[in-house]
Copies of this chain bind each other. A is one copy, B any other.
Amino acid sequence: MTQENFKSPLLTVDSVLFTIKDNSLKILLLKRKNSPFQNSWALPGGFIDVDKDGSAEDTACRKLTDKTGVTPPYLEQLNTFSSKSRDPRGWSASIAYFALIAHEETNLDVTPRNDESAQWVDVESLMDETANYQPLAFDHQQIFQFALERLKQKALYSMLPVFCLPKEFTLGEYHTLIEIILGKSIQKKTLYRRFEASNMFEETGETLATGARAAMLYRLKEDAELVNFERNLG
């Protein structure tokens, strides 16, 4: 039995790229220019180019770099969504990725698209299926929700969300970020303890003043490895 006996499914790659901007969690959405779902908003992604891409991760990376101008500092595979009905063109599968970036590092702030084809969209507004940007193309709403769950879960037991922040950041910014992701208040002390215990960061020596006492700036250490804690935050 060889693969020639089978009609081949469509295979695509889509990414959920998170950032923190204006005190809210956002993802990157693009307005589709072509059918199907023309003019709907969709996750950045597309078909694998078997000549350009060595793996699906290369495809995800290539598409994101195309849109943002930079390679996101964190990218992991999320899940593959497949069914006979998710794409009107036929049986299809999408390998979904989950990525984090500081919006300041992208070129989306500097050169906003005139045609508004690419937007940072507030996660809150995507929870309401009747709001702007809805409905998303394909099963992208489901993919987005899956990614959001993963982000929330990982925020409970790792420092992963720091990749939403710029290269240099303060503990206060991290604290705010975690509270926004989890949607509830977290003790500063707890985060500070983990921050210290992770041993992933170093002081830059600089401080950042946001109106009151200046806060120490930190950056990822060169050789930092993402640490998983033994317990979840409550």
**Whole-angstrom distance from the CB of A53 to the nearest CB of chain B?**
8
* Chain B neighbourhood of A49, CB < 8 A: 6
Contacts of A80 in B (CB 8 A): 56, 77, 80, 95
A138 interface residue, CB < 8 Å from B?
A: no
| A125 CB–B CB distance under 8 Å | no
Say yes or no: is A213 at the interface (Cβ < 8 Å to chain B). no
Contacts of A113 in B (CB 8 A): none
Interface residues on A, range: 35 or more
Contact B1 A34 (CB under 8 A): yes
A55 to B79, CA, bound (A): 13
Q: Which residues of B contact A46 (CB under 8 A)?
A: 1
Identify A91's interface contact among B6, B48, B79, B95, CB under 8 A.
B48
A10 CA to B11 CA, complexed, in Å: 9
CB contact list, A12-67 vs B, under 8 A: 34, 46-51, 53-57
Interface of A is mostly: loop
Given A48-B9, A231-B230, are A55 and B77 neighbors across the interface (CB < 8 Å)?
no
Whether a CB of chain B sits under 8 angstroms from the CB of A7 is yes
**Hey, which chain B residues are within 8 Å of A8, CB to CB?**
8, 10-11
Of the candidates B47, B85, B95, the one whose C-beta lies within 8 Å of that of A93 is B95
Kindly identify, within residues 82 to 106 of chain A, every residue whose CB is under 8 Å from any CB belonging to chain B: 82-85, 89-91, 93, 95
- Asked if A2 is at the interface (CB within 8 A of a chain B CB), the reply is yes
User: Could you say which residues of chain B place their CB within 8 Å of the CB of A93?
Assistant: 11, 56, 93, 95
Q: A93-B11, A232-B230, A232-B231 are in contact. Are A6 and B48 (CB under 8 A)?
A: yes
Picked from B10, B47, B83, B95, the residue with its CB within 8 Å of the CB of A55 is B83
Is B47 touching A6 in the complex (CB atoms < 8 A)? Answer: yes
